[in-house]
Each structure stands twice: as C-alpha cells, then as structure tokens.
C-alpha cells in the first residue's frame, strides 16, 4: 500500500544523468513547471513549458520515468516526507473523511487503500519493491503520452524519438490478477475529534469508467450538487442555512465507481443537514427530474465542457483519461450472450461478431474465450475476415486467434465466431495492443 505514490516521489530524487537539484531546475529555469500526482489507478508526470522548449520537457520527463536511480539513501529521506504528507491529511478533516469513507466502502480491496499508504507500509517499503514496480509499470506498453498546445503530432513523435522514448525497453503488459471489488454492506463510521465542524460523506457504488451510464450519472450529480443552482446547495445552504459547503462527487475506476454527497456543518446541525440531504435524494428517486431541469443541466454541462477546452491543461488530460479508462483500449474485452433461454447459449445458426475501433496504427493480439464451456461443438474462429482453423471439440476455453497489424487510417479490429452445435457459456474476445 502506497508504493506507487512513493515511487512517484523517488523518481525526482535523481537519474543516471541528473541530480535531484538538476531535475528541479530543468524546467523551472525555463519558466515552466514539472510535477506529478498519483491516483488510484495511474500516476501522471506533467511538464508545462513554452512551445520552444518541448524537447527539453520530453527529455527530462523521459529521464525520470525511464532512468531513476532509486537509491536507499534517498529513500530514507523521502519516507520522512511521505510521513509528513500522511500527517497533513490526518490533520485535514475534509480530506480524512474521504479516506475513511473509501476504506469503509471497499474494505480490503485495493480501491479502499490509501494512495499515500499508512505509516507502517511506508516504513516497510524498500528499494526492491520500488524497482519491481518500476520494471512492471514504467515501460512503453504501460504508458500514454499526450501533448497539447502549439504542437503537431508528427513533431511530438520526432521529439520523443530524439529523446529516447522509443528506445525504452519493452516490458510485461499482463494485467494484475485482482479480485473484483465487492462493496461492504451499508454501514456508518463515526470518528470523534476536536473541531468546529462535522464532516460527512455519504456514498455508494456506481458504474465503472467504461459504462455509458456514467454520462447520465454526471448530469444527475451536477443537478443535485454541482454548483450554486443545484438542489442540495439551494436546499441545505440557501434555504436552511445548515452548511457552507455541500456538493456531490463521483469517481470512476476500471472495475467500479462510486458517487456520493459531502457536507460540512456544525456538530449540532449535522443530523438536520443529513436529513435534508436524504429527503432531497428521496424526492428525486420518487418523482424524477422535470424535463426543463434536465434540459438546463445539459446546457450547463455542455457549457462547462466547451469552456474547459480553452485550458491547455484540460485538453492535455482528456486523451490519457480516454485511453486509460475506456474499455476499448489496451486490452479490450467484449462479451456476447444469447439470453433467449435459461442459459447463455450459442445455437448452430448463431454467429458472434466483435468489431472494435482502435486509437492508432499498431499490432494487436486477439484472444477468444468461452467460460464455462459445456459442449462438444466445433467452433470456427475468424480474424479480420480470414477464417481460422476450427478448434477441437469439448473443453478448449481459450484460443489465441493471432496478431493483426492495423495500418494508419484503418482503425478497426474484427473477430468472428460460429458454432457447429449448441454451445453453452459466455463468449468474450480480448483485443490487446502489443
């Protein structure tokens, strides 16, 4: 717990070519900036410079990403910095309450872990753990590079080539085997501590990032608690005067999501504020939202998205979010089921067809699976229109269809399956860039 965040700190302590001080100066001396952050599913390194300094930015980011020294002496010092950061969160109740809620909701699953780790895990982590994570995660197959501003795509590719990004050693892209998240049963957790306010988070599980239902959820969240005109702000703050800060939030991960409400209020009015929030949510559950309010929300959301495009930073974050969070990326898994009977079954006349739009010209490996497979049918597989040999009857649950090169401008990978008899199970096709 906390190893990704610790590694993020450690890469700034020095590389084969630069000291920690030289890294700090590298972009600041040019009037730019260099920083990083770690979230639950990815780490980001970002530089902001004048367009004439694109090469310098790519060089220093590539240096810290691919060539950190990761020395024990630096780790001993950086542990102290992380422990201070943990202490800062513990002294900030409006940060701590989200950590506690996350832990309470996801239990032992990594989604419930603190990004910073605990005092115990940070003290226990050593250089071998950092090197292991670096070897597994910091290589081209695990990276998304994005640039925005006065820069052309071909120019960026040339700069990345000149600064060694394309020479980095490939690594393993096998996804970590994790149990799917299982939210804990609904519960309440109360932590007593000195303070003028009570901080409350009430939340529950939501859809993952790749689920299209996240878009209406974003709209609903904005109408409930996304601004001064939202229902919760108007009711809890403006009409009842129970809080200064009240808003909704959501987080979308690869396998699950969460959404909820935060409110900060005086201890003596905490119960009244929570009751008011519950009543407002219940009203929406029972009555829905009127058409004019939904139309207003759409316009508000559209305006926010459009205005955000004026920010170079907002534009820069969009491509990595799409590439990391969308299930049509590395890897893509698509599932087909025939629900016409009590079992998910493919009949002899049925044929499955998967077609995926891919982001770039590359080589893609395609696997097909059926689990659990309970049949004696012969299965015919196809890849990009070419029929492959049928597999043997019975228990073959996975077959590698092969690799296919997608040229620039094609942008599609297709896979097909036909059954020579009734085949029971859930079909899926995985498409992974290699």
Q: What is the CATH number of the domain that holds 301?
A: 3.30.830.10
Q: Report how far apart the first and last C-alpha atoms of the chain are (Å, whole number).
A: 29
Predicted local distance difference test score (pLDDT) of residue 421: 53
Is residue 302 one of the residues assigned to a domain? Answer: yes
Q: Do 10 and 132 belong to one domain?
A: yes
Q: Do 12 and 154 belong to one domain?
A: yes
DSSP conformational letter for 180: P
Is residue 318 one of the residues assigned to a domain? Answer: no
- The whole-angstrom separation of Cα 249 and Cα 232 is 12
- Return the closest-CA partner of residue 70 out of 121, 4, 7: 7
Q: Do 302 and 340 belong to one domain?
A: no
Predicted local distance difference test score (pLDDT) of residue 140: 86
Q: Do 19 and 114 belong to one domain?
A: yes
Is residue 415 one of the residues assigned to a domain? Answer: yes
Q: Do 11 and 119 belong to one domain?
A: yes
For residue 284, give its domain range. 198-306
Predicted local distance difference test score (pLDDT) of residue 333: 40
Q: Do 292 and 236 belong to one domain?
A: yes
Tally of domains in the chain: 3
Residue where one domain finishes, among candidates 167, 184, 207? 167
Residue where one domain finishes, among candidates 150, 167, 184? 167
Starting at the earlier edge strand, list the strands of the sheet with 398-406.
Answer: 332-336, 426-433, 362-371, 398-406
What is the CATH number for 392? Answer: 2.60.120.760
Residue where one domain finishes, among candidates 306, 341, 371? 306
Is residue 187 one of the residues assigned to a domain? Answer: no
Phi, psi values for residue 134, rounded to 5°: -60, -45
Starting at the earlier edge strand, list the strands of the sheet with 351-357.
Answer: 351-357, 412-419, 379-383, 386-387
Q: Do 120 and 16 belong to one domain?
A: yes
Residue with tokens 């040019």: 30
Which parts of 44-71 fold into alpha helices (H)?
A: 54-66
Length of the chain: 434
Predicted local distance difference test score (pLDDT) of residue 385: 55
Per-residue pLDDT of the chain (434 residues; tens, 9 = 90+): 899 999 999 999 999 999 999 999 999 999 999 999 999 889 999 999 999 999 999 999 999 999 999 999 999 999 999 999 999 999 999 999 999 999 999 999 999 999 999 999 999 999 999 999 999 999 988 888 989 889 988 899 899 999 999 888 888 877 777 788 888 888 899 999 888 999 999 999 998 888 888 889 999 999 999 989 999 999 999 999 999 999 999 999 888 899 999 999 999 999 999 999 999 999 999 999 999 999 999 999 888 888 877 777 777 666 555 555 443 333 444 443 332 222 233 333 344 555 555 656 667 677 666 554 455 555 555 555 555 545 544 445 566 666 666 665 555 566 665 555 555 555 566 666 66
Q: Do 276 and 372 belong to one domain?
A: no
Is residue 208 one of the residues assigned to a domain? Answer: yes
- Mark whether 8 is an active-site residue: yes
Q: Do 206 and 148 belong to one domain?
A: no
Q: Do 19 and 120 belong to one domain?
A: yes
Pairing of strands 351-357, 386-387: unpaired
Predicted local distance difference test score (pLDDT) of residue 370: 58
Predicted local distance difference test score (pLDDT) of residue 418: 59
- The whole-angstrom separation of Cα 36 and Cα 59 is 16
Is residue 252 one of the residues assigned to a domain? Answer: yes
| DSSP one-letter string for 319-338 | HHHHHHH-TBSSSEEEEE--
Is residue 424 one of the residues assigned to a domain? Answer: yes
Predicted local distance difference test score (pLDDT) of residue 307: 82
139 burial type by CB count under 10 A (0-12 exposed, 13-18 middle, 19+ buried): middle
Alpha-carbon Rg for the chain, nearest whole angstrom, is: 25
Is residue 297 one of the residues assigned to a domain? Answer: yes
Given the residues 8, 99, 329, 416, select the one marked as catalytic: 8
Q: Do 145 and 22 belong to one domain?
A: yes
Q: Do 45 and 97 belong to one domain?
A: yes
- Return the closest-CA partner of residue 329 out of 400, 386, 254, 402: 254
- The whole-model pTM stands at 0.72
Predicted local distance difference test score (pLDDT) of residue 357: 59
């Amino acid at each position: 717990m906390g190893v990704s965040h610790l590694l993020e700190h450690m890469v700034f302590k020095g590389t084969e070519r630069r000291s920690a001080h030289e890294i700090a100066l590298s972009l600041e001396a040019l009037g730019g900036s260099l920083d990083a952050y770690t979230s639950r599913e990815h780490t980001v390194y970002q530089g902001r410079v004048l367009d004439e300094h694109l090469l310098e930015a790519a060089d220093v980011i590539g240096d810290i990403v691919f060539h950190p020294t990761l020395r024990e002496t630096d780790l001993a010092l950086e542990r102290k910095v992380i422990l201070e950061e943990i202490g800062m969160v513990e002294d900030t109740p409006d940060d701590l309450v989200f950590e506690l809620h996350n832990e309470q909701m996801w239990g032992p699953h990594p989604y419930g872990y603190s990004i910073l780790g605990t005092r115990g895990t940070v003290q226990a982590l050593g250089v071998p753990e950092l090197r292991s994570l670096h070897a597994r995660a910091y290589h081209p197959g695990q990276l998304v590079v994005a640039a925005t501003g006065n820069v052309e795509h071909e120019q960026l590719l040339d700069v990345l080539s000149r600064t060694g990004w394309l020479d980095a050693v490939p690594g393993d892209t096998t996804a970590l085997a994790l149990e799917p998240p299982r939210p804990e049963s609904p519960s309440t957790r109360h932590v007593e501590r000195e303070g003028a306010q009570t901080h409350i988070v009430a939340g529950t599980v939501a859809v993952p990032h790749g689920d299209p239902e996240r878009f209406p959820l974003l709209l609903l969240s904005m109408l409930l608690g996304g601004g001064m005109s939202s229902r919760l702000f108007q009711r809890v703050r403006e009409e009842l005067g129970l809080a200064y800060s009240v808003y909704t939030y959501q987080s979308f991960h690869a396998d699950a999501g969460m959404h909820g409400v935060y409110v900060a209020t005086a201890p003596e009015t905490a119960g009244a504020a929570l009751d008011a929030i519950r009543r407002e949510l219940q009203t929406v559950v029972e009555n829905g939202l009127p058409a004019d309010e939904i139309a207003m929300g759409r316009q508000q959301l559209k305006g926010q998205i459009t205005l955000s495009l004026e920010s170079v930073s907002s534009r820069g974050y969009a491509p990595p979010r799409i590439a990391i969070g969308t299930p049509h990326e590395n890897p893509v898994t698509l599932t087909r089921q025939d629900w016409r009977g009590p079992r998910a079954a493919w009949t002899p006349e049925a044929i499955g067809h998967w077609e995926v739009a891919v982001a770039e010209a590359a080589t893609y490996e395609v696997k097909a699976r059926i689990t659990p497979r309970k049949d004696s049918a012969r299965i015919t597989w196809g890849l990009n229109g070419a029929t492959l040999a049928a597999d043997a009857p019975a228990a073959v649950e996975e077959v590698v269809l092969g690799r296919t090169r997608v040229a620039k401008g094609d942008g599609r990978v297709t896979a097909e399956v036909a059954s020579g008899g009734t085949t029971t199970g859930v079909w899926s096709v995985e498409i992974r860039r290699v």
